[in-house]
């Protein structure tokens, strides 16, 4: 079987050495030394001012909404993973969908303003598959209407815009370090911000609002990352360049060998380079996609229909907004396997399953 995502397992002896350290200190969680080391290294690697490591990417989003004290409506994209919408609803915020651009697959910035109402408190775009949004336009709109901006940057590990981290845009950006993501800590995530006060607030909220052994200064939750997860992150970070090179290699082969008369690729932001977090391909129709998916499965390949369904169709939302572009893209897009462990033979199997379609 060739799965679409495969957790990257770094050098085992290195991980064991970290586990020995954890056993020696008997410090398993609560701002441990490995967590602090990982925060420091990620801050430097990504080129960001504040990074707060948390239990997962969904918590990172929820902490962002809480820290920014969002209320009412939040403008977001229907073309994303379920968590983008469900975290809003979980925090009693109303997702207001704005359709996507058919080429970048990101929220269509030129449609945002018409969806702003007196109830709108923020914009929550997603850098879909790591592709930077129209960050400058979104910044202008937010400023003009006094709105907060949170980027769900779960896919944008290492993505740059005009030469620096795309995570520096918006009031807050969030990452997911789930096992299937480009960089992972088994389960984990991060909140990124340039604002000192916001960083302090999020850090407090991550640990029950406890500011000192005798003081509880705000409402909070338990969103902490533990030392075993931080250790995994340190090991994966040591090997991240190989991981990225391996993924790039797979993507280049797909691009060279897949039939472009049958498929289209995502158009990447011209001020950025693909981080190869995913390998999405767009078919001409859902019928073609389903045929290819069946062929792939028959040959032992497990692709995923990322993202399907379009979130504006979720029944629990009772939304009457129809995002036609997102629905159309969602019905025709397939993410192919992209991980450093794929052999040339595996790639041929994937390509041939689509070509013989
Ligand atoms: C993975 C993902 C999340 C959720 O992250 P978890 O760490 O799994 O909670 C949120 N948004 C997007 C776009 C994702 O892909």
Centre of ligand 1 from the C-alpha of residue 90, in Å = 15
Query: How far, in Å, CA of 173 to CA of 190, rounded?
Result: 8
36-62 pLDDT, tens digit per residue, is: 999 999 999 999 999 999 999 999 999
Give pLDDT, residue 174: 98
Query: Active-site residues: which are they?
Result: 181
Query: How far, in Å, CA of 221 to CA of 109, rounded?
Result: 33
Centre of ligand 1 from the C-alpha of residue 357, in Å = 32
**Closest listed residue to residue 171, CA positions, set 207, 144, 196:** 196
- pLDDT class for 260, splitting at 50, 70, 90? confident
Q: Which of 178, 223, 310 to mutate to test the pocket of ligand 1 (most atoms within 8 A of CB)?
A: 178
| 2-238 and 241-355 have identical folds | no
Centre of ligand 1 from the C-alpha of residue 58, in Å = 6
Sign for the CA dihedral angle at 35, 38, 40, 46 comes to: negative
Q: Is the pLDDT of residue 102 over 60?
A: yes
- In terms of pLDDT, which residue wins out, 67 or 356? 67
Q: Whose CA is nearest to atom 5 of ligand 1?
A: 57
Give pLDDT, residue 319: 85
Give pLDDT, residue 356: 65
- Over range 251-260, report the average pLDDT: 93
CB 54 within 8 A of CB 64: no
Q: Is the pLDDT of residue 3 over 90?
A: no
Please give the structure tokens belonging to residue 333.
Answer: 């897009």
* SS3 state of residue 70: coil
68-84 pLDDT, tens digit per residue, is: 999 999 999 999 999 99
Query: Which option is the CATH number for 2-238: 3.20.20.140, 2.40.50.100, 3.40.640.10, 2.20.25.90?
Result: 3.40.640.10
296-354 pLDDT, tens digit per residue, is: 999 999 888 999 999 999 999 988 899 999 999 999 999 999 999 899 999 999 999 99
pTM here is 0.97
Place of tokens 């697959």: 105
Place of tokens 């940057």: 153
- Over range 125-130, report the average pLDDT: 98
Centre of ligand 1 from the C-alpha of residue 176, in Å = 5
What are the extents of the domains in the chain?
2-238, 241-355
Ligand 1 atom closest to Cα of residue 181: 1
% of the chain with per-residue pLDDT over 70: 99
- Over range 147-170, report the average pLDDT: 98
CB 95 within 8 A of CB 317: yes
% of the chain with per-residue pLDDT over 90: 94
Residue 309: cis peptide before it, omega within 30 degrees of 0? yes
Q: In residues, how long is the chain?
A: 357
Query: Which option is the CATH number for 241-355: 3.90.480.20, 3.90.1150.10, 3.30.2420.10, 1.10.390.10?
Result: 3.90.1150.10
Give pLDDT, residue 357: 52
Q: Which residues contact 234 (CB under 8 A, 6 or more apart)?
A: 18, 34, 37, 38, 41
Q: Which of 106, 176, 180, 189 to mutate to test the pocket of ligand 1 (most atoms within 8 A of CB)?
A: 176
CB 247 within 8 A of CB 276: yes
């Amino acid at each position: 079987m060739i799965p679409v995502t495969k957790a990257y397992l770094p050098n085992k002896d290195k991980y064991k050495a970290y586990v020995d350290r954890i056993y020696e200190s008997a410090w398993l969680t609560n701002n441990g030394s490995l967590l602090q080391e990982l925060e420091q290294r990620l801050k430097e690697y990504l080129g960001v001012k504040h990074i707060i490591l948390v239990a997962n990417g969904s918590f990172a989003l929820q902490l962002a909404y809480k820290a920014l004290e969002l209320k009412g409506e939040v403008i977001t994209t229907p073309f994303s993973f379920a968590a983008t919408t469900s975290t809003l609803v979980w925090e009693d915020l109303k997702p207001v969908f704005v359709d996507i651009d058919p080429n970048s697959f990101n929220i269509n910035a030129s449609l945002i303003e018409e969806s702003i109402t007196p109830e709108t408190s923020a914009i929550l775009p997603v850098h879909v598959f790591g592709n930077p949004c129209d960050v400058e336009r979104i910044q202008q709109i937010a400023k003009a209407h006094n709105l907060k901006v949170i980027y769900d940057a779960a896919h944008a590990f290492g993505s740059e815009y005009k030469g620096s981290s795309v995570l520096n845009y918006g009031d807050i950006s969030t990452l997911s370090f789930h096992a299937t993501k480009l960089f992972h800590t088994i389960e984990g995530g991060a909140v990124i911000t340039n604002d000192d006060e916001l960083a302090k607030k999020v850090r407090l909220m991550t640990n029950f609002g406890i500011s000192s052994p005798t003081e509880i200064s705000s409402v909070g939750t338990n969103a902490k990352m533990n030392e075993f997860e931080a250790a995994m992150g340190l090991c994966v970070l040591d090997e991240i360049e190989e991981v990225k090179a391996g993924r790039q290699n797979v993507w280049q082969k797909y691009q060279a060998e897949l039939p472009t008369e049958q498929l289209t690729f995502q158009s990447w932001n011209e001020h950025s380079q693909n981080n190869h977090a995913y390998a999405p391909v767009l078919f001409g129709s859902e019928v073609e996609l389903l045929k290819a998916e069946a062929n792939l499965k028959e040959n032992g390949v497990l692709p995923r229909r990322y993202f399907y369904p379009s979130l504006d169709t979720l029944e629990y939302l009772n939304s009457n907004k129809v995002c036609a572009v997102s629905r159309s893209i969602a019905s025709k897009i397939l993410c192919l396997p992209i991980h450093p462990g794929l052999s040339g033979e595996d790639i041929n199997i994937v390509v041939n399953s689509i070509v013989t379609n």
